[in-house]
Structure 1
Amino acid sequence: MAYSWDNRVAFVVKYLYDIDNNGYLDAHDFHCLALRTCVLEGKGDCSSARLQKYQHVMLNLWEEIAQLADFDKDGIVTVDEFKQAVMNSCVGRRYEDFPQSMRAFIETNFRMIDINCDGVLALEEYRYDCVQRMVVEDIKVVDEAYSTLLNDDDRRRGGLTLSRYQELFAQFLGDVSDDCEAKHLFGPLEF
């Protein structure tokens, strides 16, 4: 099932963290992720101050992930090791109880997707984020996925705020049911 907890967690590894697409996580991924985040949030600009900030955030995230998930201490984190770490650290927990560096990544990811920096992820921003990562044949599928994420407050605000995105991200990782409310947080999963 595309929306099983296993697939959702594997999606996070494959599409959010494994920047070099080698099938596992290591320090190189997070070094590259810092640069990618700097450029995307800066809409092409890569100031040394912003890059240094993201290098700090991503290095801390890698160190935390390695501490929680590199069970055999070989310097890499496999998908299975990552799943076990998420099971231990995130399942059944609220966003506030997630590891600190993971929360920093989630906030950074939100800012990167919030293209117009208005504090709300609107449909257009969600679309842009989805089509960067996956093959989409019909935008209606993406629009329907986005619609499933919105509650009445989200609709009044015009999209997802940071606090709502945090809540949904916590559900995406922390709810083991196949039909969790946040299953479409990153679009219609087809992998």
Structure 2
Amino acid sequence: MVSEFRKKKLLFLHRFFDKDASGAVEKKDFEQAAVNISNSRGWKQGDAKYKETFDTLLKVWSDLESVADADKDGAVTVDEWIAMWDAFAQNPSSAHAWQSQYCKFIFQLQDATSDGAIDSEEFSSVCVSFGGSKDQAVTAFQKMSKGKSTISWAEFQELWREFFAAEDPSAPGNFIFGTSTF
């Protein structure tokens, strides 16, 4: 059973993707996310990064739908979302390909300089572009980096797993999305 704390984290992420607030995540939500990300980065339709972002998120959606959409209605409900991420938390080493791909996508999105590490400025700029508070993002980065100036890809993967599995509200992985207000 998923604890109330983990459920709040998972609902936060579900609401992030549910762009039209329909109560379910659908393909059109991923398409809108791709547009929003591209716009926030200044990528125009036809740019290589725009296409890469769009293609990656649609691939993530396709794989997510095949795994999580239990009733095959083209939408991932809250219950389906929670069940899927709970299965991940039970055995993170057997993550579905899309979950690993999504983790890498988020890391690369935050690593704006493509130097293999995320720093506070990169992290907070992404959080702000999605409507978050810069101060809250900087605080979140300090907590998840444990005071270090950067987070490597290997560290980010561990933080990612921790976000979905941790029961401890102060666990560093709880801050990877720039907030801890679940």
**Matches of 1:38 and 1:100 in 2, distance apart?**
23
**Matches of 1:69 and 1:48 in 2, distance apart?**
31
**Equivalence for 1:107:** 104
Deviation at 1:25, TM superposition (A): 0.4
Task: Tell me if 1:84 matches 2:83.
Answer: yes
Amino acid corresponding to residue 138 of structure 2 in structure 1: D
**Equivalence for 1:166:** 157
Percent identity of paired positions between Structure 1 and Structure 2: 21
The answer to whether the 8 Å contact 2:43/2:50 transfers is: no
**Matches of 1:50 and 1:176 in 2, distance apart?**
36
Partner of 1:44, secondary structure, is: coil
- TM-score, normalised to structure 1's length? 0.78
Task: Tell me if 1:61 matches 2:60.
Answer: yes
**Equivalence for 2:120:** 123
**Equivalence for 1:181:** 172
Superposed CA deviations along residues 90-144 of structure 1, whole A, max 9, x for unmatched, are 11334x53211121122112222222222221111222222333453x82x4333
Instruction: Structure 2: state its 5+ residue gaps.
Output: none
Which is bigger in relative contact order (C-alpha 8 A, separation at least 6)?
Answer: 1
**Matches of 2:178 and 2:54 in 1, distance apart?**
27
Superposed CA deviations along residues 142-176 of structure 1, whole A, max 9, x for unmatched, are 33322111247xx2xx3112221121111101334
The answer to whether the 8 Å contact 1:18/1:25 transfers is: yes
Task: Tell me if 1:72 matches 2:67.
Answer: no
**Matches of 2:123 and 2:52 in 1, distance apart?**
25
CA 1:51 to 1:132, structure 2 compared with 1: closer, same or farther past 3 Å?
closer
- TM-score, normalised to structure 2's length? 0.81
Aligned residues: 179
Deviation at 1:87, TM superposition (A): 0.9
Task: Tell me if 1:143 matches 2:142.
Answer: no
Partner of 1:186, secondary structure, is: coil
Instruction: Structure 1: state its 5+ residue gaps.
Output: none
